Amino acid sequence: MQQDDILFSTHGNAGLVLMNKPSALNDISFDMASAIVAQLTAWATDDSIGHVVLAGSEARAFCAGGDIRDLYRMAGEGDHDGMAVCFRAEYMAHLVIAEFPKPVISLADGIVMGGGAGMLQASSHAIVTDKTRFAMPDSSIGLFPDAGASVFLGRCPRPLALCLGMTGRIIGAADCLMLGLAQAMVPADSIDDLRAALLACDTAEIDTVIARHRADPGAAPLQAHRTEIDHIFSGDDPVQMRDRAGDMARLKASNLAADIHEALSLKCPMTMHVFLRLVDMGDTITDIPAALMLDYHLALRMTRRDDFREGVRAVLVDKTNDASWNPARLEDIEPSMVDAIFDRDGLPNLR
């Protein structure tokens, strides 16, 4: 299933998956996702392949997520069946990575967002660089942090998970390591050397090769703001979280609190309520496959709402950042509305 926007090759006992769609920040199309599933399924039982390296073809981006514009077109046409097919393909790509019986090393240089973050977290080895920009920005487009985010963000301290998932805040390598979202940082100017070494090494040498290239990312910026974040994102009420951020921004002149207040005031209210419930379901969703099963159903519900089309229009199509959400405010969301999003009756299963 070779195609120009995703390339597969073998190097000794290693397989290479190279996302090659730089003009779209390597966003994952249906065809790309299907190709990943087919190739990794074949490599899973190929005794000549000991491990797989997953990377972007250019430094600007590892992967910015799924092909949202295609989903936007389908949403506008009311093609819910087509959207279900696309989401299934993307989540199956995450699933085949998560369940791959051999090491998968993701080299996440540059932008790592949405579904790209999901692929990184599904891998056995998550490597970031000093230029990594990791985020789950779904509250900007009326979707929700998916691709297993309820597990990989859910493993973070709860206030930090809520901060990242509700606001879409971008973090770098040091924060990723502090939160357990990566195992090592390699300088961006050494990432090509690491990729070459991983493709040339025996599978048993993977950890040694990574250790030889890793570097210290420095202090984690989020750690310096833990007191603020813990205070803002305490409790169970997003309205109170927004108001605490506003109070802190006003009384303490905190730039971080001001950023959080703006995000909680302007981004999709339903997204924030859905993600809050997801995080608090952590005891029942314990691994990436289970999370993807639920994400599939939630995605089908969320993309049938007007918020999804409105959010994508405002952020990616018109680029005006003026989305009009419905309901418009955090306090307008009733528990029954969130219950309806989590209602899985009548929806197809991922597998």
CB 70 within 8 A of CB 89: no
Phi then psi for residue 150, to 5 deg, are: -60, -25
- Greater pLDDT, 351 or 189: 189
Residue 286 has pLDDT above 90, yes or no: no
- Residue 237's CB: how many other CB atoms inside 10 A? 13
pLDDT grade for 282, boundaries at 50, 70 and 90: confident
Percent share of the chain, pLDDT over 70:
99
pLDDT grade for 1, boundaries at 50, 70 and 90: very low
Task: Name residue 107's beta-bridge partners.
Answer: 55, 127
pLDDT digits (tens, 9 = 90+) for 34-56: 999 999 999 999 999 999 999 99
Rounded Cα distance between 350 and 30, Å, is 15
Percent share of the chain, pLDDT over 90:
93
Residue 154 has pLDDT above 50, yes or no: yes
pLDDT grade for 351, boundaries at 50, 70 and 90: confident
Which pLDDT belongs to residue 292? 96
Q: What is the mean pLDDT of residues 58-83?
A: 93
**What's the Cα-to-Cα distance from 65 to each of 8, 213, 299, rounded to whole Å?**
19, 27, 14
pTM: 0.95
Which pLDDT belongs to residue 283? 79
Amino acid (one-letter) located at 112: V
pLDDT digits (tens, 9 = 90+) for 169-216: 999 999 999 999 999 999 999 999 999 999 999 999 999 999 999 999
pLDDT digits (tens, 9 = 90+) for 234-251: 999 999 999 999 999 999
Mean pLDDT score across all residues of the chain: 95
Q: What is the mean pLDDT of residues 322-340?
A: 97
Rounded Cα distance between 232 and 230, Å, is 6
Of 179, 123, 124, the C-alpha closest to 155 is: 179
Encoded tokens for 192: 């090509």
pLDDT digits (tens, 9 = 90+) for 84-99: 999 999 999 999 999 9
